[in-house]
Structure 1
């Protein structure tokens, strides 16, 4: 398994947000975590990326315990994340935005950069070529030299994906990727995510749009009041009575 959450609990003072959470993400799949508002989904992402520490339990990535690893070290190990609120550098070009995501992988020293030596120039050239390739994956290469501020909402989302992929992740975490998008943008983004998956990436998303999740994910886990109440294929999840009650409420007898 690429990612394993084992008996994870998280408390904020006297409030228990997660309780005994167990699930895993397999190499090469698209995995979804769903649940009503306040179920604890974003807390799960914050634990995986090192922004929070679990109160108990373990998180293993590539069979290494990452529960006490700093966020930048987790990125270096191969976990990248997009956020629900778009975080692109709007005053920079698309190309510059993606190159920024590569800074941990550029092989030149400070002296090479300051003196504009060959090592710096070669690394910079390779970075720009790679950035253009990543932009082509999300069909934005034709806008590479435009400012990010000129993009539509959906295009900014795709730029975020390209920048996250620039970190060379083994696992890409998508936090509500279609929030605020119109139906056409959602359909286009679904195609882009499938394309990324087919290039060998593993994707783990949290999302409220059930149609989007059911049409894209191979396996889904459902979180409700901090506990996993179901896990399985989209067909298994949408026919699960406990899941239906979590979203729609239980009928009175």
Structure 2
């Protein structure tokens, strides 16, 4: 579904990504992990059009994404969440999700002004769909509350519902458990599994090894802008380069591999 081929990104003389190659198949949960500063968010920003690669190619279902604007990429079937929560706190949960549907609402300015039948029908359908998406993340009972009333973990789940409102084929999660406690992480893990079971392909970037190992079928590891390992969770967990990248030591594999696994 998604392929990065020889992707590099330089900021002046600073090399952030160097010759990154990834292939994300459809109907999977794929993880890109790495220590802080490894370049993970830069990968997502390139995929979603916020940054252009210095070199290389990004293909989504065989079509190049390089040079396309973020809204075009979203309309083409890729949605994302952000490391920093970006909900509209003074809007209801329902309205937060409806915002995500704007690209698919076609009643136009005249319909809004005249409150036409087509506008009323589209608005009703949008509200019903938003309520359904909130139920997927177990927030439907709070649909009319303001987003500012939610806990941190609930705001993360609201972001998931809003991303799903764009009707994506591929959902990108940018460090979804950043700032969460262990209980919130377990809840979000449950939501991600449920979303995947509904037929969505998920590509997440994260540095929480436990969270990724519990979800992903395949994992790639990024360190200093380069992919150092890729494979199934058990292979990645025991790779000496991964252990060294996370814990800074390679001479005590039995101790460090246990630490990475945790």
* Structure 2 Cα separation of the partners of residues 252 and 236 of structure 1: 18
- The residue that corresponds to 2:185 in the other structure is 186
1:91-142 CA distances to partner (integer Å, 9 max, x unpaired)?
0000000001000001212111110000000000000000000000000000
Q: Relative to structure 1, is the Cα distance of residues 144 and 238 closer, same or farther in structure 2, using a 3 angstrom cutoff?
A: same
Structure 1 residue 207: Cα displacement: 1.0
* Structure 2 Cα separation of the partners of residues 41 and 180 of structure 1: 17
Structure 1 residue 36: Cα displacement: 1.1
Structure 1 residue 181: Cα displacement: 1.1
Q: Relative to structure 1, is the Cα distance of residues 124 and 212 closer, same or farther in structure 2, using a 3 angstrom cutoff?
A: same
* Structure 1 Cα separation of the partners of residues 251 and 2 of structure 2: 39
Q: Relative to structure 1, is the Cα distance of residues 57 and 121 closer, same or farther in structure 2, using a 3 angstrom cutoff?
A: same
SS across alignment from 1:47: helix
- The residue that corresponds to 1:240 in the other structure is 239
* Structure 1 Cα separation of the partners of residues 48 and 31 of structure 2: 16
SS across alignment from 2:30: strand
1:167-218 CA distances to partner (integer Å, 9 max, x unpaired)?
0011111011111111111111101100000000010111121111000111
* Structure 1 Cα separation of the partners of residues 30 and 84 of structure 2: 21
- The residue that corresponds to 1:111 in the other structure is 110
- The residue that corresponds to 2:14 in the other structure is 15
SS across alignment from 1:216: coil
Q: Report the aligned-residue RMSD.
A: 1.1
Q: How does 1:63-102 map to 2 (within 5 A)?
A: 63-102=62-101
* Structure 1 Cα separation of the partners of residues 219 and 141 of structure 2: 35
- The residue that corresponds to 1:5 in the other structure is 4
Q: How does 1:24-173 map to 2 (within 5 A)?
A: 24-173=23-172
Say how many residue pairs are matched.
252
SS across alignment from 1:155: helix
Q: Which ranges in structure 2 are unaligned for 5 or more consecutive residues? A: 253-262
Moved over 2 A (4+): 250-253
1:141-167 CA distances to partner (integer Å, 9 max, x unpaired)?
000000000000000000000000000
1:217-250 CA distances to partner (integer Å, 9 max, x unpaired)?
1100000111100000110000101111111113
* Structure 1 Cα separation of the partners of residues 155 and 182 of structure 2: 16
* Structure 1 Cα separation of the partners of residues 37 and 149 of structure 2: 34
SS across alignment from 2:214: helix
- The residue that corresponds to 1:231 in the other structure is 230
- The residue that corresponds to 1:209 in the other structure is 208
- TM-score of the aligned structures, taking structure 2 as reference length: 0.95
